[in-house]
Amino acid sequence: MDDAQNIFKDVRSIDFPIIDADAHVQEPPDLWTSRAPAKLKDRVPRVNHTEQGDFWQFDEGKPPEPVGLTVASGTSYLDFHPFGRKYDEIRPAFWQPGPRLEDMDIDGIYAQVLYPSVTLKGASTYSDDPELQRFCVRAYNEWLSEFCAGSDGRLIPQAIIPTTGLEDAVAELEWAIKNDHRGAVISRMPGGDFDFTDEDDRFFQIASEAGIPLIVHIGSFIRPSVMQDRPSFSFTDLSFLGGVGATKAGSYTIPVTTDLMFSGMFDRFPDIKLALVESNIGWIPTLLEQCDDMFLRYRFFTNAHDKMKGMPSDIFHKHFYATFMVDTVGIQLRDRMNIDHLMWSTDYPHTGSDWPNSRVTIERIFNGVPMTEVKKMLHDNVKSLYRLAEIPEKISG
């Protein structure tokens, strides 16, 4: 049956396992305190219980993070709130593997690629002190391996990479590869800065040879100057809504993407794969169109024609993958992107999640799309990127 006849209409037509390209764990309250050596025990991330709810507290006076919007799945929009949630009240599935698999079954999701909640902005969230950050990163990565063990490949770990220098980044990447993490989450270049340099080559060579993709999650890899220029707001300001809407439309990810696309690293490492997570996809075609146009106009006086082997869009289509949640515009523009690099996700258990009704969201997003393309975005592309050969092609039974 050709694609013109085989059009997606409802989830009953899906006969393959759905792979969620971006879900999250809510780290347990004792993740770091239970593993810390005595000299670090009072400095590692820990949960403070207050009348306003639970808050994660960090070293060096870093701002506390409330337990609220990252534990929202199963909650009515009317009950969303950035503060006030407590660990003894939230769903065990947010931070326990057995209940997580049960919640996935309820939602019709076979497998999930897992990211953190406490460390969404990168490893420096833990601390700027190298020793403390290294410990926190490794403790999280070890815990996530334990969380995913015994899931028969349904829970897929992504390792956090520290920002404390090349040697630390290389050591954690090698550990992650050895311990079967399927991706490495970077929030800076391996050397600890935001610009690609010769020093970073060893890290990218290891990743390239191992076939492990590098991940930039929304809200990370952002230069300090960008954050300093952003106006301050409270959660109840209208500007907060504008900010989060713009963020999900690519406002933070666009400058990160152009920084990476024009870094020169993809000419040096032609096999590197990089995934942009949770920033949606509707912004991609217009960015690539404008970058190509300016490249053609300015490539000579900038010497870009000597520094880049391909057009910016060629680099993006070959090396970049992207996840999306609710993005009907992006789906309409999918022919302007590499359909083999687009991946749907739930954002569970954060506020972007529609658990336990992801089936409804899938029907809304993919209605009228050829089934071959739906399968790519719900199954094939994630399976290929993260080397998930253990996940079956068809739903058994």
Pair of tokens at residue 346: 């739930």
- Alpha-carbon dihedral sign for residues 274, 277, 279, 284: positive
Q: What six digits make up the tokens of 75?
A: 């909650």
Dihedral angle computed from the Cα positions of residues 245, 285, 365 and 350, in that order, rounded to the nearest 10 degrees: -40
Tell me, what DSSP letter sits at residue 180?
T
pLDDT of residue 248: 93
CA atoms within 13 A on the CB side of 231: 11
Long-range pairs of 311-317 with CB within 8 A, sequence gap ≥ 24: 312/261, 312/262, 312/288, 313/288, 313/289, 315/261, 315/266, 316/257, 316/261, 316/284, 316/288, 317/341
Residues near 14 by beta carbon (within 8 Å), at least 6 away in sequence? 362, 374, 378, 395
The encoded tokens of residue 92 equal 């065990």
* Domains of the chain and any CATH numbers: 11-40+93-385 (3.20.20.140)
Torsion sign, CA atoms 84, 86, 91, 94: positive
pTM for the predicted model, two decimal places: 0.95
Q: Rounded to an integer, what distance in angstroms lies between the CA atom of residue 202 and that of residue 194?
A: 16
- Spans in the chain with pLDDT lower than 70: 1-5, 226-233, 397
Q: How far apart are CA 308 and CA 320, in angstroms?
A: 16
| Per-residue pLDDT at 255 | 95
The predicted-structure confidence for 61-119, as pLDDT tens digits, reads as follows 788 999 999 999 999 999 999 999 999 999 999 999 999 999 999 999 999 999 999 99
What was the pLDDT predicted at 70? 96
**Residue partners of 282: CB distance under 8 A and separation at least 6:** 249, 250, 324, 327, 329, 330, 333
Predicted local distance difference test score (pLDDT) of residue 396: 80
Decide: 346 and 24 in contact? Cβ < 8 Å: no
